[in-house]
Structure 1
Amino acid sequence: MKKSAILPAVLLLWFVSLSSAWAEPAKCFESRKGASEVTQRMIGENLPNVKCSPKTGAVLWWGDPFDGTMPMGDMPIQDADYTRGKALVKPRSDKIGLLPLCGNTCHTGTLPKGFPTNKDTRELVMMHQAIVLDSTKLPHGRGNIWCLDCHHSTQRNKLVDHRDKPISFDQPQQLCGKCHGEVYRDWREGIHGKRIGEWASTGTKRWFVCTECHNPHNVQHGDRNRGFAQHQPEKAPSLPKGMKTADHERHPHGTSDH
């Protein structure tokens, strides 16, 4: 290579390596876009905490399913057996940008002065409209509930149970179980929702809580009217070497090769 061409080549390699170093780390969502984002980072040699899909922006797999989790905490149903393994959840508070303002800046009881604590439906303005455009037509409950049925009336950075006791935003299943008892029981038994972690029934698992998948302020969102928008699935994996079709997976119901 001529000397005149060496310098530009070296500069190009230096620029590429520098650009890679300055590049923004990849971000993808775990369950619901805009509410479960995670930043990709290395947690071991050639092992990222998550693998992001370039197609959907969703997490494809987890290098450590328990990264950033904490114990689930108390559960609403008292007579169930919760000794089967260790249940972990990922905190939700850091995903809610306005949460520090709710109970410490705006709703302290003095600012705004005399803010109402009853559950009468009324219009909310200013920053609330970024959450719910029209609070007089709240999609959740189809008009049968309002904001203070779920949010604590005096501790606005908390949720509330039927006995007016505060619930942490990190444990939304305790709130949702108030009304959605049947779905909650299915979630607790593993029929509804998602878990990742160890296969053994006594193993450690991360449980995805309600608001990681469902938007509580717009539960009629999505084609299936279930509070979450579907995204295009990934392409099917390649067939094993030597196999030309996937006909072995297309048996009619009730038939078998055996």
Structure 2
Amino acid sequence: MICLHKASKIAVFALSSFLIVGMGVCKISYAAGENTETQTVQPVTDCYESREDYTTVTRIENAVPEYGFPSIKCSKTTGAVLWYGDPLEGTIPMGEMPEIKDETHGNFENAVVKPREPHLTYFNMGPNGCKTCHDGKIVPYPKDKKPRLLSMHQDIVENSLELQHGRGAVWCLDCHSATNRNKLMNRRGGEISFNQPQRICGECHGEKYIDWRAGIHGKRVGAWASHGGTRRWWVCTECHNPHTVQKNRFNPVKPEPAPPLPRGMKNASHERNDTE
């Protein structure tokens, strides 16, 4: 009986060891297969932030060494940025904002934006940007703001006499400075940086401008709190093309695939508020 009892213990121990080793081998094999499959899927490396062909960004691996994160993750569905390793990379302070009677009180000290002025080196014309041609000599300063047919910039506006903004009430020189093309111009003739187009847009689109300042219109990334944490703000022209805004107010974006249903849930009828 004693021998039989010992033999039983040995058999149980051997069987347990076999099962544990087998599970370990399966787990290692599965993990190896999973890694192999993951490595064969190449991430999208070039995508855009807001409007396609307007804010192109390139994925950089291990941009956040502390966590091993890339700079961005691009969507395979839309080609747009899904998330950022460092959402504040490449940003600058928004700059001075006018104080109006709203909850912000003109306090945007923690707001940052992606600068647009560096993009004024159109066709790599050099540090003078638009003023390389629009210097009053190569291209004379216009005598007035009357719409006219332009022989250049058809890539921006195909027909300058059919500018799709304000239903024909707004033309180029209502927003662009006539004598300094590297700047925008407000209604009083003051120069505004291309980094702050919201100060121009808000003069006509006051309701949306108030909503944007309050954080209920547009996009933000970074800290949650309005005060005490740095946030990146998307300015108007990053989402809306001012030259074709009447034709297409906001470029539609194909939605991402729906997430898988939780285990045990047969359908998503609860989201349609029905009982099917």
TM-score where L is the length of structure 2:
0.74
Is the alpha carbon distance of 1:249 and 1:85 closer, same or farther for their aligned partners in structure 2, counting shifts above 3 Å?
farther
Is the alpha carbon distance of 1:165 and 1:148 closer, same or farther for their aligned partners in structure 2, counting shifts above 3 Å?
same
Is the alpha carbon distance of 1:153 and 1:24 closer, same or farther for their aligned partners in structure 2, counting shifts above 3 Å?
farther
- The Cα shift of 1:156 comes to 0.7
What residue in structure 1 maps to residue 203 of structure 2? 178
8 Å Cα contact 1:85/1:201 also seen in 2: no
Moved over 6 A (4+): none
Q: Structure 1 stretches of 5 or more lacking a match?
A: 1-19, 253-258
Which one of the candidate residues 74, 88, 101 is aligned to 2:112?
88
Counterparts of residues 34-183 of structure 1 (less than 5 Å): 34-42=53-61, 43-45=63-65, 46-80=68-102, 81-83=105-107, 86-96=110-120, 98=122, 103-112=130-139, 114-126=140-152, 128-183=153-208
Is the alpha carbon distance of 1:25 and 1:240 closer, same or farther for their aligned partners in structure 2, counting shifts above 3 Å?
closer
- The Cα shift of 1:193 comes to 1.0
Measured in 2, the distance between the counterparts of 1:41 and 1:183 equals 35
Which string of whole-angstrom CA distances, capped at 9 and with x for unpartnered residues, describes residues 204-245 of structure 1? 2111100100001110233xxx1x221211101122334333
Which letter does structure 2 place at the counterpart of 1:173? Q
Measured in 1, the distance between the counterparts of 2:266 and 2:43 equals 40
3-state DSSP class of the match of 1:51? strand
Matched, 1:194 2:219: yes
Matched, 1:244 2:256: no
TM-score where L is the length of structure 1:
0.79
Is the alpha carbon distance of 1:41 and 1:91 closer, same or farther for their aligned partners in structure 2, counting shifts above 3 Å?
same
Is the alpha carbon distance of 1:53 and 1:110 closer, same or farther for their aligned partners in structure 2, counting shifts above 3 Å?
same
Matched, 1:234 2:256: yes
Which letter does structure 2 place at the counterpart of 1:148? L
- Flag the structure with larger Rg: 2
Measured in 2, the distance between the counterparts of 1:147 and 1:76 equals 24
Measured in 1, the distance between the counterparts of 2:166 and 2:179 equals 22
3-state DSSP class of the match of 2:154? helix
- The Cα shift of 1:83 comes to 3.9
8 Å Cα contact 2:92/2:114 also seen in 1: yes
What residue in structure 2 maps to residue 3 of structure 1? none
Worse-matched range after superposition: 237-246 or 186-195 = 237-246
3-state DSSP class of the match of 1:28? strand
8 Å Cα contact 1:25/1:41 also seen in 2: no
8 Å Cα contact 2:120/2:129 also seen in 1: no
- The Cα shift of 1:84 comes to 7.5
- The Cα shift of 1:104 comes to 2.6
Which letter does structure 1 place at the counterpart of 2:244? N
Q: Quote the RMSD (CA, aligned, Å).
A: 2.5
Identity in percent: 53
Q: Structure 2 stretches of 5 or more lacking a match?
A: 1-39
- The Cα shift of 1:179 comes to 1.1
Query: Matched residue pairs, number?
Result: 225
8 Å Cα contact 1:117/1:154 also seen in 2: no
Which letter does structure 1 place at the counterpart of 2:209? Y
Which letter does structure 1 place at the counterpart of 2:137? T
Worse-matched range after superposition: 75-84 or 87-96 = 75-84
Measured in 2, the distance between the counterparts of 1:211 and 1:180 equals 13
Matched, 1:212 2:232: no
Measured in 2, the distance between the counterparts of 1:82 and 1:206 equals 16
8 Å Cα contact 1:40/1:48 also seen in 2: yes
3-state DSSP class of the match of 2:221? strand
3-state DSSP class of the match of 1:148? helix
Measured in 2, the distance between the counterparts of 1:25 and 1:245 equals 31
